Structure 1
């Protein structure tokens, strides 16, 4: 196993959420977190790579930079790729695939570049190539410099391994975690989601409160690399601690199917004891007993002309209910239309956090409601 402790590690996220992810990375004690487009870079060793996959709630993928070289022709690319020390990272029996991107370079055909690198890996190490392989080498060719990285996550990190039932256009858990953080949620307050869908925000909040590692129930691509140490990995997972909490996390929805899905997902995630889900319209929403916390909502928002007008009454009702009944609570609302957010009449603070969800530009608006 390599003892390298100065790897360049890239933690990917949705553009616009880099600063929020950096705050989580710093809180978790990773070294030298630096914001870059689409993510955060840190320095560390392979154990840091494993821990990032296991513990970070907001990262969508963890890549390790393996090295780089200059190449201006496909033959040169293949030759230099054959000379690359793949044996330090890859195992001969584990299949691999290559994804390439090219920009501002004489090598401009990404598919041809990927095929040449795959051919080189097989020739130099005997590693089989498989389009379905968990291990993916990322080749990025910019200004004739080829940078090679390995994706250590495999499946994207929002796939926690315990969510079985989803609704249409589900919110990714990684996005949910970052939005909760930006809205001020730290696990030490209750949470209410009046339109819970498949329960993502409620379950994510409960897991944060219990300090449950998001990657506890899944496998990762790094387990198939030469650098993997199974006993050290087992010790890392066993070293995770579960925290008790007195707070509770509540989800509501008008759709009975959404309540069934949310309940099943909470049970699968191991947070059923501190979560509750019930069928209820927004007009009947009241705060639970106990201290004030966070109301977080991802209501529908129109993407077609005329949708906003149809949704205005929903947002107006939401704003009225929260203002009249949730004094002292914080509020987070995700929507794709400023007009709809303003229709709530809530006292939003600061600039909304802008990012993309499923290719649609959206914003997170936050507010603190005056105590009654």
Structure 2
């Protein structure tokens, strides 16, 4: 068994933890940016393929205090790295240091690499290593003098689902989009519209959730090249994931003012295998209307960091507020960094939480007004958030 870490964006650790609980994991430890739990090779495969909101899955090799380079060297050397890294393994060391005595990251990386090679030398009885085989990305993370040594099992981050080669001007990470869906109370029984759909990420993630399509089922992971992984683990998990997919009758709608962006969204949805569930239209938000009494809007509209201007945003959000007053039984879920959002919209949100879109601090404003959901209770709330 390994100590495993599912890393996540700040603010959605609890959502990642609920995903892990839904997958059957217990004794979870939730900290800033990560959830720690136990698992074996099969669990590494399950988490990489099924987690929607995590950034990556790491193996924790050691944790200890170090205020000097000697303590860092000795603590790293104590680890039996040969249990996981083969004689030809590529030992790629990265690092970070926050509020610690050992603040020079390059020096820490160099010390850790030397200590790993020393440990490997004692295990394998050789002094030099070809590093011509599978890759092992080792991170030395130091927080307040506590060193955590991990090995990444994922490779390219878990947001790399494989369907989005092209994105709009201000792309939203797939993992954050999935979090927005899971935090909302939407499920396949209700209409869902994204009036600023861009490259379609929110709607694609929603369709994948509704059809129980595992986000990592069509991609590979770095640990699949490791000798310690038999190869069967990932094949078994992928096969099980594909057999568990659903064919719910849903129709999601996305609007964008730019037809070129709409074309990209259509291509992305097709690559994700959910294009038949999503209708994309070239449409201005200011012309938005619907005859449906109940439904959901989940969106990441322009908020002025990289696109848009203040005057345009004021007009846009005032219109959104007027729309919310007309669609009183619709749930609105809006991610934005626009500070005066609630003041301009003119409607106080039921709930808001701080989330980060890349390095941009945003707030996710949620308006829980869907009467149908209130009447039907928790059964209709997304099961992962119960």
TM range (shorter): 0.7 to 0.9
For the Cα contact (< 8 Å) 1:315–1:340, is it kept in 2? yes
CA distance in 1, matches of 2:21, 2:13: 12
Residue of structure 2 aligned with 1:312, choices 301, 311, 314: 314
1:24 is aligned to 19
In structure 2, what is the Cα distance between the partners aligned to 1:71 and 1:371?
55
- Displacement of 1:176 after TM fit? 0.7
Contact 2:331–2:370 (CA under 8 A) maintained in structure 1: no
Matches within 5 A, 1:249-288: 249-287=252-290
Pairwise mapping of residues 1-372 of structure 1 onto structure 2 (< 5 A)? 4=1, 7-69=2-64, 71-75=66-70, 77-78=72-73, 81-103=76-98, 106-123=101-118, 124=120, 127-128=129-130, 134-142=135-143, 145-240=146-241, 241-287=244-290, 292-303=294-305, 307-324=309-326, 326-346=327-347, 348-350=349-351, 352-369=352-369
Q: 1:60 to 1:188 in 2, by over 3 A?
A: farther
Which stretch of the first structure deviates more once superposed, 213-222 or 279-288? 279-288
Rounded to whole Å, the distance in 2 between the matches of 1:40 and 1:79 is: 27
Give how far 1:331 is off.
1.1
Q: CA deviation at 1:79?
A: 5.2
Matched-pair contact (CA < 8 Å) for 1:347–1:368: no
CA displacement 1:98-139 (0-9 Å, x = unmatched): 112345655442212212322343452555559xx8531111
How much has 1:346 moved relative to structure 2? 3.8
Q: CA deviation at 1:218?
A: 1.3
What is the alpha-carbon distance in structure 1 between the residues aligned to residue 100 and residue 335 of structure 2? 39
Unaligned runs of 5+ in 1: none
Secondary structure, aligned partner of 1:211:
coil
Deviation at 1:347, TM superposition (A): 5.0
Give the drift of 1:41: 1.7
Distance 1:343 1:230 in 2: 54
Task: Summarize the Cα distance change of 1:261–1:66 in structure 2 as closer, same or farther, 3 Å threshold.
Answer: same
TM-score (norm 2): 0.85
CA distance in 2, matches of 1:358, 1:147: 24
Distance 1:89 1:55 in 2: 23
Aligned to 2:28, the other structure's residue is in SS state strand
